[in-house]
Amino acid sequence: MGGLNAWCIQRLNKGLILPQLTYGIEVWTNKGHIDNAKKALHSIIRNAFGLETKTPTLAIDTKIGITPLNLYVKQRQDMLALRAHNLNRHTKMSNLWLGTSDLPGIIANSQGVAGIKAHM
């Protein structure tokens, strides 16, 4: 059988599908938006690559290597909070981003990773 292998599907997902589907994801706070995006992502992958509708989403995620969308959202929001923290002048929007994040935990985690690299 012909078709795309898992690596090609993963590259298409990261380069074409995910950026379009998750545009502005850093400011999404409603869990319903994330769930709708997750359903749309799996629907796109099923339709684009000819998978059956009964294929479990965990099997699709594992085979293709898709990061769970809720973890992707958390990572993007943490990156945005770090950027907002490093601004010279805080705006209402940056204060909102800082208020909804666990900034001390993010900073401690990033320093812990940097500390490990410094000792190597």
Residue ranges in the chain whose pLDDT is less than 50:
1, 114-120
Q: 45 near 9, Cβ under 8 Å?
A: yes
Question: Is 117 found in the same domain as 77?
Answer: yes
How many other C-beta atoms can be found within 10 angstroms of the C-beta atom of residue 81? Answer: 21
- Select from 21, 40, 66 the last residue of a domain: 66
Q: Indicate if 59 and 97 belong to the same structural domain.
A: no
Orientation of helix 69-85 relative to helix 31-49, angle to 10°: 130
Structural domain count of the chain: 2
Quick: pLDDT tens for 87-96: 777 777 677 6
pLDDT number for residue 3: 64
pLDDT in tens, 16-35: 888 888 888 877 777 788 88
Tell me: do 4 and 59 sit in the same domain: yes
Give me the pLDDT at residue 23, please.
87
Domain of 38? 1-66
Which class for 22: exposed (0-12), middle (13-18), buried (19 or more C-beta within 10 A)?
middle
Q: Are both 107 and 79 inside the same structural domain?
A: yes
Q: What is the pLDDT of residue 77?
A: 81
